[in-house]
Structure 1
Amino acid sequence: MSKKSAFAAFTALAIGSKLWFRQGDVPTSAGDAPIAAVKVNAEDVVILSGQFGWSIDAHHMQGVTAEQLSDATIGSDGYHRAWGLFEAEYAKLQVWTSDPTVKRTRVKKLKPSLTGQRFTIMTVPEGAEATLRVGMKGTMVQTGAETPMVVLDGYHRTVFIHVSHLGIHKRRPKMTMDRLAPQTKEVLSLLKAKGSLTAIEAGGVIRARSLAKRISELKEAGVDILAETKHDHTGQRYARYHLQAAA
């Protein structure tokens, strides 16, 4: 709602407008939840789907159509149930022009450039195929809409999933030689000096952690490295990385 007072917002509405109001001074009648209503004159509203209020007849309604009152509550006396909204009497009055009880999904806008973008399913859409699960990952193949076409890893065909159910992976800039971390540069220097390297050797010489990740960064930056699988005397498998000579 705007910065206007609740009564000013109500006054600005045209006759026949649908609104929601909460009357905190009479919780035993209206309750604490917002009540849907239709404005029928300068001070009165007809209650929709509610069981409280006084009786109001057509004589007090100014230009309201039967269609606008189609959901209105009619009492056993044959009259519509109504409520008066007055500026001075009800200090706790609140007025909305859209349903405040409906939680609106924030829509993410997608650009065509997101084609090829990776994502993870965060929630499963209502009525979706039973094979869809939270945590499944995939790739967008057609974007620019709120419900893009996607390919899920290991799934048999393309599907459409609204973006509100997807956690879009943040794209990391491509690794280049000038963006290498200091320890990754140390791994490259050691590889150049020794020609090949294992995780144990890297940890012992330069205290490098996660050599496989450092090697992955070097490969992304364009360094030609070959991984060789070997076994120690106990049969434990390990990798030895060889620096390939430039062509």
Structure 2
Amino acid sequence: MSKNTALAAFAALAIGSKLWFRQNDIPESAGEAPVAAIKVSENFVVIIGAQFGWEMIREDMDPAITEETLSGVTKGSDGYYRGWGLYEYSLQKVWTTDPTVKKARVKKVRPSLIGQRFTIMSLPEGINADIKVGMKGTMASTGHETPWVVLDGYPRMVYIHVSHLGIHKRRAKMTMDRLPPQTKQVLDLLKAKGSLTAIEAGGVLRARSLAKRISELKEAGVAIIAENKLDHTGQRYARYHLKAAA
């Protein structure tokens, strides 16, 4: 990029723009590595987090610059800001050859694993013999590589390194507009009949797992109650009813 082009590009930036300030022509001044800067006037920038540059007073900056804009800018104990001008003395010498607008970086926040389900995929050395591969559990702590976990059916909490755990993929909460087609059919049949058993659902809808469909409906907010009954052979079964609105 030529100096004239660089000057034009810098001039086109709005006051307060964050940019990469690069000085390749005079390394002893700013160095070849780009540094973060803010445009504070048509001729000046202030440096973010650096201890070099001219001493600049607040009056040198455009009135549009606020204290919030200057957050992170280096300010000496004497109250002066560190900055650079685009010109050296009376010469029209561009101090920056790359006034590239700095793109905002979105910090990725890792969600907490507390409450996350997992399956033990391998066993660490020295772990209690009662703990087996395939056992499932729930994270009780997070933020480190060896979390505190609660294993299903195991009486004590234990520490297990995450390299031994298969973290279950989080599933979005079920809502009425996300119900699978067969679950919607179960709901329609419930509304039509008033109650439903697994045999009835299997015969009409070929639903293999009515309990799972009922669980999805409950998660979506449908009020359903289960009535446990015995058939003529003494086998237990559940009849599901839609709960009447209060």
- TM-score grouping bracket, smaller chain normalisation: 0.5 to 0.7
Q: Does 1:126 align with 2:125?
A: yes
In the alignment, which residue of structure 2 is the partner of 1:87?
Answer: none
In the alignment, which residue of structure 2 is the partner of 1:192?
Answer: 191
In the alignment, which residue of structure 1 is the partner of 2:178?
Answer: 179
Partner Cα distance (1:242, 1:136) in 2 = 34
1:182-221 pair list within 5 angstroms: 182-221=181-220
Root-mean-square deviation over aligned CA pairs: 1.6
Report the Cα offset of residue 119 of structure 1.
0.8
1:114 partner SS:
coil
> Amino acid of the residue matched to residue 190 of structure 1?
L
Report the Cα offset of residue 112 of structure 1.
5.5
1:142-162: CA deviation from partner (whole Å, max 9, x where unpaired)? 111111111112222221111
1:74-113 pair list within 5 angstroms: 111=110, 113=112
CA contact (8 A) 1:120 1:138 kept: yes
2:125 partner SS:
coil
In the alignment, which residue of structure 1 is the partner of 2:165?
Answer: 166
1:178-221: CA deviation from partner (whole Å, max 9, x where unpaired)? 00011111110111111101112222223322111111110111
In the alignment, which residue of structure 1 is the partner of 2:243?
Answer: 244
2:140 partner SS:
strand
1:129-175: CA deviation from partner (whole Å, max 9, x where unpaired)? 22221112111111111111111122222211111111111111111
1:7-53: CA deviation from partner (whole Å, max 9, x where unpaired)? xxxxxxxxxxxxxxxxxxxxxxxxxxxxxxxxxxxxxxxxxxxxxxx
> Amino acid of the residue matched to residue 122 of structure 2?
T
TM-score (norm 2): 0.53
CA contact (8 A) 1:112 1:144 kept: no
Q: 1:112 to 1:160 in 2, by over 3 A?
A: farther
> Amino acid of the residue matched to residue 190 of structure 2?
L
> Amino acid of the residue matched to residue 124 of structure 2?
P
Report the Cα offset of residue 126 of structure 1.
1.0
Partner Cα distance (2:145, 2:176) in 1 = 37
CA contact (8 A) 1:112 1:143 kept: no
Partner Cα distance (2:198, 2:240) in 1 = 9
How many pairs align? 138
In the alignment, which residue of structure 1 is the partner of 2:228?
Answer: 229
In the alignment, which residue of structure 1 is the partner of 2:58?
Answer: none
TM-score (norm 1): 0.53
> Amino acid of the residue matched to residue 162 of structure 1?
H
CA contact (8 A) 1:150 1:160 kept: yes
1:230 partner SS:
strand
Partner Cα distance (2:146, 2:111) in 1 = 12
Q: 1:154 to 1:203 in 2, by over 3 A?
A: closer
1:82-109: CA deviation from partner (whole Å, max 9, x where unpaired)? xxxxxxxxxxxxxxxxxxxxxxxxxxxx
Report the Cα offset of residue 111 of structure 1.
4.2
CA contact (8 A) 1:111 1:143 kept: no
Partner Cα distance (1:136, 1:152) in 2 = 7
Partner Cα distance (1:159, 1:111) in 2 = 23
> Amino acid of the residue matched to residue 223 of structure 1?
V
1:131-146 pair list within 5 angstroms: 131-146=130-145
1:224-245: CA deviation from partner (whole Å, max 9, x where unpaired)? 1111111122222211101101
Percent of matched pairs sharing the same residue: 80
